Amino acid sequence: MSQASMTQALMSQTLDLTAYPHAQRERLRFIDCCLHYFGQVARTDLLQTFQTGLASGTRDLALYRELAPNNLTLRHDTKLYYRTATFTPLFEHDPQLILDKLNKYAWQGLTMGPNLSGICLDAVPTIMPADNILAPLLLAISQRQAISCDYVSLSSGQQSRELVPHTLVNNGRRWHVRAFDRRSQSFRDFVLTRFTRIQPLTLPIIVGEQQAQDTSWHHILPLTLMAHPKLPHPQAIELDYGMEIEKGTARLTLAVREALLGYVMQQWLVDCSADYQLNPAQYPLALADHQQLNAITNKALLPGASL
């Protein structure tokens, strides 16, 4: 364990942050986050983010300084608190949440905001649906209603359907809705941008159309991935995915819904062929145990599974 980790562990043992109200803990977490990732924080940042008064911001900063006196120092010329060389975070922070906020310019109005412009971007934008499609879909899901719709598919073009939607899914490129299709009497995925009309249906849905009956959705598969065995330097991929050594080989174990398996394998570029026949330059990950796919009925979306 590193010295910083040891220090943080000791601090977490001695500080009982749950003794403070939830709202105050969130403000303390914000102070900690700003110092941890951006190196500075100001009282005005607290005021703008939480809509508190000057006195409240002053108290929060004073309390943080009392809890972690070696984490920050005040410079009177700028009226900013700066991270010290001995800084150790009081809270655990979620990197995904931080990157999402940076990507959405969540901190642009704060003192550190001007320095954050453009430092975090999505290389591939997600295709977003129109509001006149998203709103009735969400309404139907929340109210547990069926919908009548017109949908354009690649195989059959535009057709009218009756669906019972239950979950929205982002596959990394576009949004889908998981729904019971009354025409095929099965649960399927539908791309949100391919709907041209949606209207609610007032008749109640039956038990077999509800999410609880979507067996593929509720079937969780444990999958073991590894770097493609034909890669010349597999350690690069092992580091990318934080793989851990299992029985002498670096592995990554995922728990994936069967209904989403194809999306995950495609997005992560996983070679699912039995003899690892796909090009490792294009598919740097590989399925370590192909027997894990024996329970899958539809392998159409799995790269190389049909080889």
pLDDT digits (tens, 9 = 90+) for 225-270: 999 999 999 999 999 999 999 878 899 999 999 999 999 999 999 9
**Mean of pLDDT over the chain:** 91
**Residue 243 and residue 248: Cα distance in Å, rounded?**
12
Whether 40 contacts 87, CB under 8 Å:
no
Based on the fold, state whether residues 20 and 36 are members of the same structural domain: yes
DSSP 248-297: TEEEEEEEEEGGGHHHHHHHTTEE--TT--S-TTT--EEES-GGGGTT-S
- Confirm whether 306 is domain-assigned: no
Residues 103 and 74 in one domain: yes
pLDDT band at 307 (very low <50, low <70, confident <90, very high): confident
Please count the structural domains in the chain. Answer: 3
User: Do 83 and 42 fall within a single domain?
Assistant: yes
Is residue 288 included in any domain, yes or no? yes
Banded pLDDT at 5 (limits 50, 70, 90):
very low
- Asked if residue 301 is part of any domain, the answer here is no
In this structure, the answer to whether residues 230 and 139 fall within a common structural domain is no
What digits encode the pLDDT tens for the residues 178-232?
Answer: 999 999 999 999 999 999 999 999 999 999 999 999 999 999 999 999 999 999 9
Domain span at 223: 219-293
Q: What is the pLDDT of residues 259-292, one digit of tens each?
A: 999 999 999 999 999 899 999 999 999 999 888 8
Separation between Cα atoms, residue 57 and residue 62, nearest integer Å: 9
Q: Which of 180, 214, 248 is the last residue of a domain?
A: 214
Residue 258: the pLDDT is 94
> Do 13 and 41 belong to one domain?
yes
Which range is least confidently modeled, 57-71, 93-107, 259-273? 93-107
Residue 195 is assigned to a structural domain of this protein: yes
Strand ranges (E), 51-174 = 72-75, 80-83, 146-153, 157-170
Final residue before a domain boundary, out of 63, 92, 116: 116
Q: What is the pLDDT of residue 298?
A: 81
Is the pTM above the cut of 0.75?
yes
52 part of a folded domain? yes
pLDDT value, residue 102: 87
Q: Would you state the pLDDT for residue 150?
A: 98
Are residues 110 and 179 located together in one domain of the fold? no
